[in-house]
Amino acid sequence: MIKTINELVASDFCTGCGACGVVDEEIKFTFRDDKGLSLPDTSGLTQQELAKASEVCPFLHDNPRYTHFEQNSAGLEYNPLVGYFHKIVVGAIRDPLDRSRSTSGGMTTYVLRRLLEKRLVTGVIHLAQNPNTNGIENAFEYRLSRSIEEVESARGTKYFPGSLKELRHLLERDDESMVIVALPCFIRGIRLLTKNDDECRKKIKYTISLVCGHLKTANFTKYLAINAGVSPNDSVSKIEYREPVPGGNAHDYRASFTVGATERSSEKKHTLPTKELYAENWAYGLSMPNICSFCDDVAGENADLTIGDAWIPPYDSDPRGTNIAIVRNLELLDIIQEQGLDTVEVGVDDFVHSQAGSFRNRREGVLYRSATNRVEIPTTRVSQLKIFDSIEDREYKSRSSVHQALRGHESLISTLKFRDFQLFKFKTFYSITIYQFQKNGIRALLPRGLKKLLKTIMTNQGSSAAINSRKVYIKNHDI
C-alpha cells in the first residue's frame, strides 16, 4: 500500500497539486517535460517530515478524502454520485456583455466578483496567466487577486495543471480571508491542509471546484500550440482555450495563441478549432496524469460550490455556454440566487447526464482499471461501483490502451517540434484506430465530413431520445 508522497511519485500517481509543499517548504518541485507536471522531490526530508507532508496528499489511501460535509451535513441532501448539496442549478450571468466574454456561462466570475463586493473575502486564489514568462511550462500559475479587475482579467477556461505549492506566500497577511478555485483533487488537498494547518483553516473561507473530466498536463497546451503553428522559439503572450466558433453551439470552440512581435514580424494570433485535431476526443485521455484513471471524484465533492458546463439539451445548443452548479454552502447559495444570475433549479439526474461520459469513465472505468491493474490503486470507493458487461469491459480495455500509448509518448509533444509531433501520431495511431473501430465499427473509417453529416442527421432525429436516455442512465445507476 502506498503510504508516502515519494512512493506516490515513484508510482506515477502525482498531479503536482503542491499541498505537500505548503506543509514543508524544503520540498522542491521540478518540472518534468515527459510528464508535463511539476513534481515534488522529498529526498531531503526526514522520515518524520515526510510523514507529516504526506498527511495532506489527496491520493494517499490512509488520508480522509470525502469527510468534510459528512462532518458538516446539517440541512444537506446526499447522493452517492455528487455528494452532499443544498441545491443544483443551471444558469448563466444575466448581463449580455458579461456573458459574451465568458466561456461557459460566467457563473464562476460572477460569484468571485460578488464575494469581493460583499467583502466576504479579501482575495481570490485562482489560476491566471503568468506575466513573467513566455514559456508554456509556466504559462499559468495560481495567483492572488484582490480586485474585481484582477479577477476579470483571469476569466475563462484553462486546461492547465498549475500548483498550489506557493499558497503559504499568498496567505501572508494576518487579515486574509480567501476563496480558492481549483479542480477536485486540489480541493481535497486544501481540505486536508485546513484540517492539519491552523493558518490555512483560518484564512481559507470558501472553496470552489470545477467539474472534472480529468486534469490536463502542460503538454496539452503544447499539443494545441503545435497544431496552431506555434514554434519552439515563439514568445507566447496570451493563450485562450475556449473561444466560441461563429455559428456553432456550446460544443464548438477553438483555441488561440497570441505570439509577440519580433524584429521580422508583428504580433500574430494563431487560432484552431479543437474538434479537428488528432486525438482530441476527451475519452482518449491525451496529456492526462495516470492518477486520473483511478480518481472517482467528478463533482468536486469537498467544495462549497462546484461549477461546470451544462452539456445537456437545450442548454448545449447555446454557443455562449451555460453553467451547471452544485451548491453546498448557504452564503454562496444566496449569491447564486441573486438577480445577476439567471438560474433554474434542476435535479441530480440532470447533473449526472450533463457529465455522463465523465461519470461512466470515472466510476465504471475506475472499477475496470482497478480490477485489471496489478498496482496499488489509491481510491476508496471502488466497492460501491457497479459491475459492467463484456461490451463495456472491451471498451475500457481498449481505452486504457489508448491512454497508455498517448501517455507513454507524451515527451514527443513536449519538444514543441512538428517533426516530433508527427512521430507521436505515428506511434499512437494504431491504438486509437483499434479503439475507434471497436466503438464505432465501419463508421470509424468514414471521412470526417461524412461522419459530421451523419451525426447532424442523427442529432436532429434524436433530440427527444436524449431526454429518454438520461432517464434510462439514471435508472440504471440507482440514483
Bridge-based pairing of strands 178-182 and 123-129 is parallel
241 plus 369 within the same structural domain = yes
C-alpha to C-alpha distance for 194 and 314, rounded to whole angstroms? 39
Does the predicted TM-score (pTM) go above 0.75?
A: yes
C-alpha to C-alpha distance for 17 and 57, rounded to whole angstroms? 9
Distance set, CA 181 to CA 127, 220, 252, 324 (Å): 8, 21, 25, 16
CB 59 within 8 A of CB 39: no
Distance set, CA 329 to CA 73, 74, 192, 211, 325 (Å): 10, 11, 18, 17, 12
Distance of CA 194 to the CA centre of its chain: 22
- How many residues would you count in the chain? 479
122 plus 26 within the same structural domain = no
Name the domain boundary from 337, 370, 394.
394
pLDDT of residue 448: 64
pLDDT of residue 398: 85
Residue 239 resides in a domain: yes
Match 452517492 to its residue by C-alpha cell: 80
Residue 469 resides in a domain: no
C-alpha to C-alpha distance for 23 and 41, rounded to whole angstroms? 14
Residue 258 resides in a domain: yes
153 plus 110 within the same structural domain = yes
pLDDT of residue 479: 37
Q: pLDDT tens string for the chain (479 positions)?
A: 788 999 999 999 999 999 999 999 999 999 999 999 999 999 889 999 999 999 999 998 788 766 667 667 778 999 989 999 999 999 999 999 999 888 889 999 999 999 999 999 999 999 999 988 777 888 999 999 999 999 999 999 999 999 999 999 999 888 889 999 999 999 999 999 999 899 999 999 999 999 999 999 999 999 999 999 998 888 898 999 999 888 888 888 999 999 987 667 788 999 998 887 999 889 899 999 999 998 989 999 999 999 999 999 999 999 889 999 999 999 999 999 999 999 999 999 999 999 999 998 888 888 888 878 766 666 656 656 654 454 466 778 888 899 999 999 999 999 999 999 999 999 999 999 888 888 777 766 666 666 666 666 765 555 444 444 444 333 444 43
Phi, psi dihedral angles at 170 (to 5 degrees): -80, -10
148 plus 103 within the same structural domain = yes
Residue 144 resides in a domain: yes
Grid cell listed for 35: 510528464
CB 307 within 8 A of CB 323: yes
Residue 433 resides in a domain: no
CB 421 within 8 A of CB 226: yes
CB 398 within 8 A of CB 372: no
Residue 416 resides in a domain: no
310 plus 176 within the same structural domain = yes
pLDDT of residue 154: 93
Residue 281 resides in a domain: yes
37 plus 83 within the same structural domain = no
186 plus 238 within the same structural domain = yes
pLDDT of residue 248: 84
pLDDT of residue 388: 46
C-alpha to C-alpha distance for 79 and 75, rounded to whole angstroms? 14
Name the domain boundary from 367, 394, 421.
394
Sheet holding 204-210, edge to edge: 140-145, 123-129, 178-182, 204-210, 305-309, 323-327, 87-93, 341-346
115 plus 246 within the same structural domain = yes
* Full residue range of the structural domain in which residue 152 is found: 64-394
C-alpha to C-alpha distance for 312 and 309, rounded to whole angstroms? 9
- Omega cis (within 30) before 319: no
pLDDT digits (tens, 9 = 90+) for 240-266: 999 988 888 888 899 999 998 766 778
Name the domain boundary from 31, 54, 77.
54
Residue 421 resides in a domain: no
How many domains would you assign to the chain?
A: 2
46 plus 86 within the same structural domain = no
199 plus 240 within the same structural domain = yes
71 plus 25 within the same structural domain = no
Phi, psi dihedral angles at 309 (to 5 degrees): -95, 140
91 plus 223 within the same structural domain = yes
C-alpha to C-alpha distance for 254 and 309, rounded to whole angstroms? 16
**At a CB cut-off of 8 Å and minimum separation 6, what does 375 contact?**
11
